[in-house]
Amino acid sequence: MKIMPEKEKRHALVVFFLGAFVLSAVEYFRVGGFFTQEYEGTDERTVYFSSLESLEHFFTEQEYSLKAWQELSQPVPRLELSSIPTSWGRDVAPSLTVQKKKSIFLMLAIPLVMISNEELNKVRARLLKLDADRIERGTGLWLEELATTYRLASDLTGEQRLKKLIERIDAVPVSIAVAQMIEESGWGTSRFATEGNALYGQWTYQGGLKPLQQREEKGDYRIRVFDTPLDSVRAYMLNLNTNPAYGNFRRSRTVLRQEGKDLSGTGLIRTLTAYSERGEEYISSLKSIIRVNNLERLDRAVLQPKPLYQLKPTAISG
């Protein structure tokens, strides 16, 4: 084996790094910002993007199209956005056309709702296989934890508890969840969304972001903050599935299940008047969002089995 002299080694290293720099620069300007992928296994990949153009380039490479999802001609990909960049609401979204802003937001929001629904459906499927009179110890402990999470009364019999859990642990139609996300977060541009990944404006009296104008009669309430947008979606669904104010929503959903019908956003949206003090006006607004943005068809959409793409913005500009 020939040993390269030290001078030649240094020369080779310089050539290598210069070449790498040139290729990186070419790629940067080609896609409008750095866009890289890390493969963490066969089913999960991390994608870093530094501009809106690089994110769109990723969509194009994967042949992801909002139109295809709405036409049900392509499964919805597993995309999990790690956080909503502050610049989205401050700089990027205001610079886009209305249609482009909507498209980018929906392409990121729809997978979050479907992933959260899938998690609920997996738990529900396990519950449906149980026999209330014959529950093993391990399953019993799991049911106790679920009963606590889903706020069930402690004096229920095993059969009553199982029935209540099956009623509460169920999916939320994609059209409803996305429409409310749009209404509550202003297409992800609200301060609560960009500073706290809060997509549904859920209140809390412990920590959180303080509204600029609080209503004194409501006390010192805040808006909950979340580690990720997906956590916000999970909390929203837990709220719909546990809060007494949405009992009519859950009962109507159960009836649809018993009749063997699909969960329909337009069929269930009327049960959520309690979500906002605006009441019927709020429901009318949600119906309009669903209709104008063709969201109802997504109630029948299918989630792509794999891979899961973890989307991590390093910075984002228009």
The answer to whether position 12 is within a domain reads: no
CATH of the domain at 242: 1.10.530.10
List CB contacts of 246: < 8 A, sequence separation 6 or more: 239, 240, 271, 272, 274, 275
**Range 98-106 contact pairs with CB under 8 angstroms and sequence separation of 24 or more:** 101/187, 102/187, 102/293, 103/66, 104/52, 104/55, 104/56, 105/182, 105/187, 105/188, 106/66, 106/178, 106/293
Over range 19-39, report the average pLDDT.
42
The answer to whether position 286 is within a domain reads: yes
User: Three-state SS string across 67-82, please?
Assistant: HHHHCCCCCEEEEEEC
Host domain of residue 103:
99-306
Number of domains, the chain: 1
- Does residue 169 have a pLDDT over 60? yes
The closest of 118, 113, 108, 160 to 309, measured between CA atoms, is 108
How much is the pLDDT for 114?
97
SS3 48: strand
Give residue 180's pLDDT band: very low, low, confident or very high (50, 70, 90): very high
Between helices 158-168 and 137-149, what is the axis angle to 10°? 50
Give residue 206's pLDDT band: very low, low, confident or very high (50, 70, 90): confident
The answer to whether position 229 is within a domain reads: yes
Average pLDDT, the chain: 85
The percentage of residues in the chain with a pLDDT greater than 70, rounded to a whole number, is 81
The answer to whether position 244 is within a domain reads: yes
Note the pTM of the prediction, 2 decimals: 0.84
How much is the pLDDT for 245?
96
How much is the pLDDT for 39?
54
